[in-house]
Structure 1
Amino acid sequence: MGLLPLNYRRPPYVEKTRSSSEGAKSQASINSGSDNADKPTRSLKSARSANALGIPPALSFDKIIEGGTCPPCTTRDFMNYLVYVERSAENLQFYLWHRGYVKRFEQASTRDLALASEWTRTMEDEAAMRIQKDHAENLRRDPKSSMVAEVFQGTDFEKGSQIRMGSFSDSNPFSTPPATPGEHEDLSDFVGSNATSYRIQVNEAFSSAGLKAPFTIQPFRKEIERVIATYIMDGAPRQLNISDREQKAVLQALAYTTHPSAFRTISTLVESELRRQGHPNFIRWSICNGNSARVLFARVLGVGLVASGLGAALVITLSRAGRGYRALAAIVFVLGIATLIAGYKGMCVVLHGMHHRHVRPWELFMADEEGVDEAKKSLDSFGSSNSYEEEPWVIRYKRRNIIRKIFDREVWIQEPALRQIQDTIFVQSVLCAVVGAGILTGVFMAVPGGNFF
C-alpha cells in the first residue's frame, strides 16, 4: 500500500468534555437543515474529517461499523476497546441497536405502524420549552438546590446515579466496567414476567418525569420499554451519559410514540461522541502493537542504547584511536533513537518488523469457556452492566510476572491500513534517528582527541 505522507501524525487523544450545553449546541448544528434525524447527517459525517484526525479512509468510523475492516480494527475490537479501556461501551451498544431499529421500523409493514407517528421537531421544541419552564419554576421554588444543580450541570455528577468519570488509558484495561453492542436481536425471551418487570420499571420512570404511561398497543412498545430500562432511566445497567433534561426530553418523546424519531434528542449526541472521541481514540490505541510492559521495555532499551552510544563515543574520543572510529557510535545512536521514538508512540520496532502485535489481555483467555461467553455478551444490545472486573481473566492476567508480559503471545496484524500507519511511523522514527545520530556524531567528530590512552 505504500506509506502515508511523512508529515503524518497519529490521531490526537480526545478528552471527554461534552457538557449538556455543548451537546445541545452540537446537536443543533449537526441537525440543522435536516428533518430526518434517524439517519446520520452529512455535517456529522464530515465533521473533523479522517485526514484532519490522522485516520485514513480505510479506517473511518463508517468503514468499521459496516464490517469493512480486519482485526484488530473490527467492530468487535472497537467494542472491546470501549469496554476494557475507555469504559463507555454503552454508546456503541445503543448506537448499533438504534441503527438496527431504524431499519426494522422502516421495513415493517404491520397496520399498527399508524399508531406510531413521527416525533416532529416542533414537538421536540415544545417539549424542550416545557422542560425549561419546569426547571425555571424549580429554581424559583428552591434556589439553593437549583444552584447546586447548575454547578454540576453537564458534568458526570449531574445525576448521582450516573458517575462515569472514565479515566482513559492507552494500555491499562483494569478499572471500572464498560459496555458493548448488538444490532439485530432475538426478543423472544422478552415476554411474560420479563415484560411485566420492564413495564413496571418504565412506568415508574415516566411517573418520576411527570408523564403518563404510554399506550402499549403501539408497535415495538415492548422493545422500547426494554431500551428505556437498559439505557435511559436512572439506575439503568447501561445508562447513557446524558443530562437530566435530555433524559426528560426523550422520555416525553417515547411516551408519545415508538417512532425512531423519538430518539432524536440523544441518538445524534451518542453518534457524535463515538465519531469525535471514541473512534479517534480507538485508532490511536490500535496503533500500539505492544502491551504496556513491552512498550516500557522498548523505551528503556532505547534509552540504554543511546547511553551506550554516548559512552562509546566518549571513550573513543578520549583515546588515541583515529577520528574516523568515532563515527561507529552513529550506528548505536540510530538504533537507540529510533527505538525510543517508536516506543514513545506505543510501538515496539521488533514486533513491527514482523507486523505483529501482542494479544490483548482479555483475548489471551478467550479459548476458555467463560471467555467465549463474555465475548458473546459484549455484543448484545441488552443485558447487565458492562462491568468486567469479575471476569476470570482479570485475576489471571494480574498474576503474570513482568517478563512473561513482555514476551506475551503475538498475532499478525491483518488490517492493511493499520500496517501502513505503523510503517509510516517506523520510517519517521528512523529518519529522526538518522538526523539525531548525525548531530551527535558530528559533535564528537569535531571535538579534539584526548589521547589519554
Structure 2
Amino acid sequence: MGLLPLNYRRPSYVKKGRPNDDLSKSQTSINSGSDNADKPARSLKPVRSANTLGIPPALSFDKIIDGGTCPPCTTRDFMNYLIYVERSAENLQFFLWHREYVKRFEQADTPDIALAPEWTQTMEDEAVMRIQKDHAENLRRDPKSSIAAEMFQGTDFEKNSQIRKGSVSDSNPFSTPPETPGEREDYSDYVASNATSYRIQANEAFSSAGLKAPFTIQPFRREIERVIATYIMDGAPRQLNISDREQKAVLQALAYTTHPTAFRIISKQVESELRRQAHPNFIRWSICNGNSARVFFARVLGVGLIIGGLVLAQVLTLSRAARGYRALAAIVFVLGIATLIAAYKGMCVVLHGMHHRHVRPWELFMTDEEDVDDTGKRSFDSFGSSNSYEEEPWVVRYKKRNIIRKIFDREVWIQEPALRQIQDTIFVQSMLCAVVGAAILTGVFLAVPGGDLF
C-alpha cells in the first residue's frame, strides 16, 4: 500500500468530557429559529467527526462499524477496547441498538405505528426550555440546596436523600445498586425472567421525572422500557453518561412516543462521543503492537543502546584507533534512537519487522473459538448486564504472569493493511530521525581530537 506522508502524526489522545449539562446543543437549536425546528429528520443524520487527523479513510468510524476492516480494527476489537481500556462500552452498545431500532421502526408495516408520532425538534426545544425553567425556578427558591444537589448528583448522598423523600422505592434503606459483576448478572437475570420488571422500573423513572406512565399500546413499548431500565434510569447497569436534565428530556419524549426521534437528544451526544473521542483513541491504541511490558522493555533497550553507543564512541576517541573507527558507533546510535522513538509511540521494532502484535490480555487465555464467540455475544447483547470485567478469570491469571512472559507474550499477525501502513510510516519516521541523530552524535566525536591513551 505504500507509505503515508512522512509528516504523518498519529491521532492525539482525546480526554473524556463531561455530559453536556446545560444542553447547549438544544439551546442552540432553540436560538436558531423556528424554520430549522420543523425538520426533525435532519437530527437523525450521523454526526461527523472533527478529529480525523491521523486516521486514514480505511479506518474511519463508519468503516469500522459497517464491518469493512480487519483485525485488530474490527467492531469487536472496538467493543473490547471500550470495555477493557476506556470503560465506556455502553455508548457503542446503545449506538448499535439505536441504529438497528431506527431500521426496524422504519420497516415496520403495522397499524399501530400510527400510535407513535414523531418527536419533533419543536417539541424537544419546548421540553428543554421547561426543564431549564424549572431548574432555574428551583435554584431561585433554594440556591444552596440546588448547588448542593448538583455537587452530589449521582452519589450515594443523592440516592439516600431520594429514598428518605420517598422518590425511590426501596424497602431497605441500606441497600445499594449492585456493583460487582456477579451481582449485576443476578440483577439482569432477574429482570429478564420477569417481563413486568422492566415496566415497573420504567414507570419509576417516569415518576421520578414528574411524568405520567405512557400508554402501553404503542409499538415497541416493551423494548423501550428495557432501554430505559438498561441505559437511562439512575442505577441502570449500563447507564449512559448524561446529565440529569438530558435524562428528564428523553424521558419526557419517551412518555409521549416510541418513535426513534425521541432519543434525539442523547443519541447525538452518544454518537459524537464515539466519533470524536472513542474512535480516535481506539486507532491510537491499535497502533501499539506491544503490551506495556514489551514497550517499557523497548524503551529501556533503546536507552541502553544509546548509552552503549556513547561509551563505544568515547573509548574509540580516547584510544589510538584511527578516526574512522569512531563511525562504528553510528550503527549503535541508529538502533538505539530508532528503538526509543518507536517505543515512545507504543511500537516495538522487532514485532513490527514481522508485522506482528501481542495478543490482548483478555484474548490470551481463551482456549477456543467458543470462548471468543461467547464473549462477543455478551458484549454485543443490547440488554445484557453491566460491562464490569474485574472478576473475569483472565484478570487474576494475567496479574500472576511474570514480567518475562509478558514481554514475550504470544503474537499474531496484523491483518488490517491500513494499520500496517501507519506502522510502516512510523517506523520510517523513526529511522530517519535516528539517522539524523546518529549523524550529529557521530560528527561530534569525529571532530574531537584523539586521546591516544591506549
Output one character per residue of 1:268-321: Cα deviation in whole Å (capped at 9) or x when no partner. 000000000000000000000000000000000000000000000000000010
**Partner AA of 1:326 in structure 2:** R
Deviates most, 122-131 or 85-94: 122-131
Looking at structure 2, the residues matched to 403 and 97 of structure 1 have their Cα atoms a distance apart, in angstroms, of 42
Q: Do structure 1's residue 430 and structure 2's residue 425 form an aligned pair?
A: no
1:22 is displaced (CA, Å) by 7.0
Q: Report the CA distance shift for 1:110/1:190 in structure 2 as closer, same or farther (over 3 A).
A: farther
User: Which of 45, 50, 54 pairs up with 1:40?
Assistant: 45
Preserved contact between residue 159 and residue 244 of structure 1 (Cα < 8 Å): no
**Partner AA of 1:374 in structure 2:** T
Q: Report the CA distance shift for 1:26/1:303 in structure 2 as closer, same or farther (over 3 A).
A: farther
Q: Do structure 1's residue 159 and structure 2's residue 164 form an aligned pair?
A: no
Deviates most, 109-118 or 372-381: 372-381
Looking at structure 1, the residues matched to 212 and 22 of structure 2 have their Cα atoms a distance apart, in angstroms, of 30
1:23 is displaced (CA, Å) by 5.9
Q: Secondary structure at the match of 2:444?
A: helix
- Residue number in structure 2 paired with 1:199: 199
- Residue number in structure 2 paired with 1:441: 442
**Partner AA of 1:265 in structure 2:** I
Residues 39-78 of structure 1 mapped to structure 2, 5 A cutoff: 39-41=44-46, 44-45=47-48, 47-48=49-50, 50=52, 53-78=53-78
- Residue number in structure 2 paired with 1:260: 260
**Partner AA of 1:378 in structure 2:** S
Preserved contact between residue 290 and residue 358 of structure 1 (Cα < 8 Å): yes
- Residue number in structure 2 paired with 1:224: 224
- Residue number in structure 2 paired with 1:354: 354
1:63 is displaced (CA, Å) by 0.3
**Partner AA of 2:388 in structure 1:** S
- Residue number in structure 2 paired with 1:167: none
Output one character per residue of 1:201-240: Cα deviation in whole Å (capped at 9) or x when no partner. 1101101110000000000000000000000000000000
Residues 124-143 of structure 1 mapped to structure 2, 5 A cutoff: 124-143=124-143
1:367 is displaced (CA, Å) by 2.1
Q: Give the TM-score of the pair, scaled to structure 1.
A: 0.88
Q: Report the CA distance shift for 1:200/1:77 in structure 2 as closer, same or farther (over 3 A).
A: same
Residues 158-177 of structure 1 mapped to structure 2, 5 A cutoff: 158-160=153-155
- Residue number in structure 2 paired with 1:170: none
Preserved contact between residue 21 and residue 245 of structure 2 (Cα < 8 Å): no
| Unpaired stretches in structure 2, ≥5 consecutive residues | 159-178, 182-188
* Aligned-residue identity in percent: 81
1:141 is displaced (CA, Å) by 2.7
Q: Secondary structure at the match of 2:412?
A: strand
**Partner AA of 2:312 in structure 1:** A
Looking at structure 1, the residues matched to 221 and 339 of structure 2 have their Cα atoms a distance apart, in angstroms, of 57
Q: Secondary structure at the match of 2:219?
A: coil
- Residue number in structure 2 paired with 1:289: 289
Preserved contact between residue 23 and residue 269 of structure 1 (Cα < 8 Å): no
Looking at structure 1, the residues matched to 180 and 77 of structure 2 have their Cα atoms a distance apart, in angstroms, of 16
Higher helix share: 2
Q: Secondary structure at the match of 1:20?
A: coil
- Residue number in structure 1 paired with 2:101: 101
Looking at structure 2, the residues matched to 65 and 407 of structure 1 have their Cα atoms a distance apart, in angstroms, of 32
Q: Report the CA distance shift for 1:270/1:364 in structure 2 as closer, same or farther (over 3 A).
A: same
Deviates most, 119-128 or 343-352: 119-128
1:125 is displaced (CA, Å) by 1.0
**Partner AA of 1:66 in structure 2:** D
Q: Secondary structure at the match of 2:41?
A: coil
**Partner AA of 1:128 in structure 2:** V
**Partner AA of 1:123 in structure 2:** M
Preserved contact between residue 3 and residue 420 of structure 1 (Cα < 8 Å): yes
Output one character per residue of 1:113-161: Cα deviation in whole Å (capped at 9) or x when no partner. 00000001111111111111211221133221212345x4xxxx64227
Q: Secondary structure at the match of 1:411?
A: strand
Looking at structure 2, the residues matched to 379 and 7 of structure 1 have their Cα atoms a distance apart, in angstroms, of 38
1:110 is displaced (CA, Å) by 0.5
Looking at structure 2, the residues matched to 288 and 424 of structure 1 have their Cα atoms a distance apart, in angstroms, of 13
1:361 is displaced (CA, Å) by 0.2
1:38 is displaced (CA, Å) by 5.6
Q: Report the CA distance shift for 1:412/1:66 in structure 2 as closer, same or farther (over 3 A).
A: same
- Residue number in structure 2 paired with 1:168: none
1:191 is displaced (CA, Å) by 10
- Residue number in structure 2 paired with 1:340: 340
Preserved contact between residue 370 and residue 392 of structure 1 (Cα < 8 Å): no
Looking at structure 2, the residues matched to 98 and 116 of structure 1 have their Cα atoms a distance apart, in angstroms, of 16
Q: Secondary structure at the match of 2:148?
A: helix
Q: Report the CA distance shift for 1:191/1:430 in structure 2 as closer, same or farther (over 3 A).
A: closer
Preserved contact between residue 162 and residue 234 of structure 1 (Cα < 8 Å): no
1:373 is displaced (CA, Å) by 3.1
Q: Secondary structure at the match of 1:36?
A: helix
| Unpaired stretches in structure 1, ≥5 consecutive residues | 164-175, 179-188
Looking at structure 2, the residues matched to 17 and 206 of structure 1 have their Cα atoms a distance apart, in angstroms, of 27
Output one character per residue of 1:166-220: Cα deviation in whole Å (capped at 9) or x when no partner. xxxxxxxxxx999xxxxxxxxxx99996220110111011011100000000000
Residues 263-282 of structure 1 mapped to structure 2, 5 A cutoff: 263-282=263-282
1:379 is displaced (CA, Å) by 1.3
**Partner AA of 1:247 in structure 2:** Q
Looking at structure 1, the residues matched to 72 and 157 of structure 2 have their Cα atoms a distance apart, in angstroms, of 31
Looking at structure 1, the residues matched to 180 and 367 of structure 2 have their Cα atoms a distance apart, in angstroms, of 22
- Residue number in structure 2 paired with 1:421: 422
- Residue number in structure 2 paired with 1:305: 305
Output one character per residue of 1:387-434: Cα deviation in whole Å (capped at 9) or x when no partner. 001111111111100000000000000000000000000000000000
1:20 is displaced (CA, Å) by 1.9
Looking at structure 2, the residues matched to 354 and 119 of structure 1 have their Cα atoms a distance apart, in angstroms, of 54
Q: CA RMSD in A?
A: 2.4
Preserved contact between residue 72 and residue 415 of structure 1 (Cα < 8 Å): yes
- Residue number in structure 2 paired with 1:173: none
